[in-house]
Structure 1
């Protein structure tokens, strides 16, 4: 199969209705609920929006799926940092703590940027994201 069949292109800029753009923004910003829920909302928020809108709003579903993939990728990286800390008996914290802070700031900035872009009707792709959900 060609790449086009596996990953159809997102809708062109300007094709999404204002309601669809708003749901796309919610798809990104719903990850911020993870701050309150101890990290669970980072994945559950975009997942719920993707599951609810995947059959009715293609742009919103695409952006929620992108947010879901980004947050799954960051969860994997966070787990790897925890494992590094444990395996090195805490010595790895010298590296893990600054990386965790940088990762948290990058997550917050990229999530907000993605929400703004989605609300403008622009397809946003997070950098360094594993596309696990197709």
Structure 2
């Protein structure tokens, strides 16, 4: 953790990386992948540089995954296409947080594709 100025925000890449990796709690708890990053973002967005951008990207991504999942459930009845969509959502929901955790550790901006911007 580097301090820019005493009155300025701090650069904490480890916390940003942890925030991205906390999305993987979805595979353990079911909904922790949205709640934990949301709490970290709201608590640290004024103190950690870049947390606002990363937090918004994470929450938008998790909400988008939720919407895509809700859409694909009725699509299961349509020739089973919803099952393929659920498999794709599961893979994307696992891989992209890991990729963006590495990017945040390197000081890069998050990049989640197919994300609906609920929070601008």
TM over 0.5: yes
What RMSD in Å do the two structures reach over aligned CA positions?
1.6
List gaps (5 residues or longer) in structure 1. 1-15, 86-90
SS of residue matched to 1:45: helix
Counterpart in 1 of 2:16? 24
Compute the TM-score of the two structures, normalised by the length of structure 1. 0.75
Question: 2:37, 2:119 → 1: CA distance?
Answer: 12
SS of residue matched to 2:73: helix
What is the CA-CA distance between 1:61 and the residue it aligns to?
2.8
SS of residue matched to 2:43: helix
CA displacement 1:47-77 (0-9 Å, x = unmatched): 0111011111131232122111101001011
Q: Which has the higher contact order (CA 8 A, sep 6+)?
A: 1
Moved over 3 A (4+): none
Equivalenced residue count is 111
Compute the TM-score of the two structures, normalised by the length of structure 2. 0.83
